[in-house]
Homo-oligomer: A and B are copies of this chain.
Amino acid sequence: MTVNKIQTDSELGFDVPALPGMAVSDIQTPCLIIDMDSFDNNLRRMAEVITPYNVSLRPHAKMHKSIDVARQQLAQCNTTGICCQKVSEAEVFARAGIRDILITNQVCDQVKIERLAGIAALGCRLSVCVDNETNIDALSAEAKKQNVHINCLVELDCGAGRCGVADAEQASELATSIKEAEHLIFDGLQAYHGSIQHELDHDQRKTELDAVIKKVKVCLDSLAASGLNCPVVSGGGTGSFLFEASSGVYTEVQCGSYAFMDADYGRVHNRDGKRLDRADWKNALFILTSIMSTAKDGQAICDAGLKVQSVDSGLPVIFGRDDITYVSCSDEHGVIEDKQNQLKINDKLYLVPGHCDPTCNLHDWYVCVRDDVVVDLWPVSARGKAW
């Protein structure tokens, strides 16, 4: 089937950038593209890479916010659990039938705690992170009220300086409180270091991660000394997960970005000194953009600006083109340096976004492409689910 006309909002009831069967040249820009061959590669490769280790993959759905992506990740690695970051996000996945969700975050507001317990009441194995004593009381009271059990991980700050208790002593105190609280289960530790993921140098990353692993071991010893069993140690992202996986202390890793890659992760080097996007992971996520002005000599303007991508981790990279560069970004425009004036009006380019997570969250649809043909449209199911 070939489809070459986009129906508008009023005809279709909603606005889509493409329809299955359509050629890439007919996709409405700007929009998100998943290159399905690269995406399949990344999922298959993760299964291969992680198999030798005694850890589970619990992919982080905050990255893609897509039920379709999550289901494929779970099937590929033969695991059942995902991570989410927000209660409203977790609701989307729980209602879609995902039966094991860890919220890698604190949930403190009473209405959110009610919704959290409501997810457990749907039959989902629900876990949440805790770093303060009063939260334990609130979680316990609501779990009891809704007659569910909530698994709690004590969050240990691993150096990111965000949430999480500072040391083993505080962790043990919270773990003891959780164990004693009705309808809560002390399940282990959340020990994730976000900023290490993006450290470019492999050896520097390893040095920092070794310190994290050491801290986690001290914490586990302290918990054991207090008679506290710790079945789960969860952490690790796309930049560091092989360290956690081979540590002997982590039981699961929380990678998300490996499925899509982005420009910022792409610059990180692996132990062979190769960029991550030239080694295990291929760029599978793109912003398809069109040229809309070539009025200036030496530059072209594309239609992808701040409303379709987050530039917090740098500007996008133009895929497969060393001759042109995306040099600045405003709300709805991107300026592309094109010294040889090669670009023409309506030319299409594939941008690798600087940072995939907040970029995906700007879009309603993933346009899935294989062999230059649209093969599927996947909703960004939990887009905007921020509470």
Contacts and interface: CB of A to CB of B under 8 A. Distances in A.
Interface of A: 5-6, 8-10, 15, 17, 26, 28-31, 62, 85-86, 88, 91-92, 95, 105-109, 111-112, 115, 118, 131-132, 134-135, 155, 157, 161-166, 170, 194, 290-296, 299, 301, 303, 306-308, 310-312, 329-333, 335, 345-346, 355, 357-358, 361-364, 383-387
A332 B111 contact: no
Nearest to A308: B386
A339 to B, nearest CB: 15
Number of copies: 2
Contacts of A311: 312
Contact of A330 (B162, B361, B385): B162
A272 B24 CA distance: 54
Given A8-B118, A88-B9, A387 B303 contact: yes
Interface of chain A, helix or strand or loop or mixed? loop
A115 B333 CA distance: 20
A290 B310 CA distance: 23
A358 B299 CA distance: 24
A301 B163 contact: yes
A287 B214 CA distance: 39
Contacts of A357: 306-307, 331
Contacts of A296: 157, 161, 166
A295 B385 contact: no
Contacts of A15: 88, 385
Q: Top 3 closest A-B pairs, CB basis?
A: A163-B293, A306-B358, A131-B295
Nearest to A170: B295
Nearest to A156: B295
Given A292-B106, A307-B386, A362-B384, A335 B161 contact: yes
A161 to B, nearest CB: 7
Contacts of A161: 296, 299, 335
Contacts of A88: 9, 15
Given A111-B6, A362-B361, A384-B364, A165 B295 contact: yes
Contacts of A364: 384
Given A135-B345, A306-B355, 4 more contacts: A9-B92, A28-B387, A162-B330, A308-B386
A295 B108 CA distance: 13
A376 to B, nearest CB: 19
Contacts of A109: 28-29, 290, 346
Contact of A332 (B6, B62, B108, B330): B62
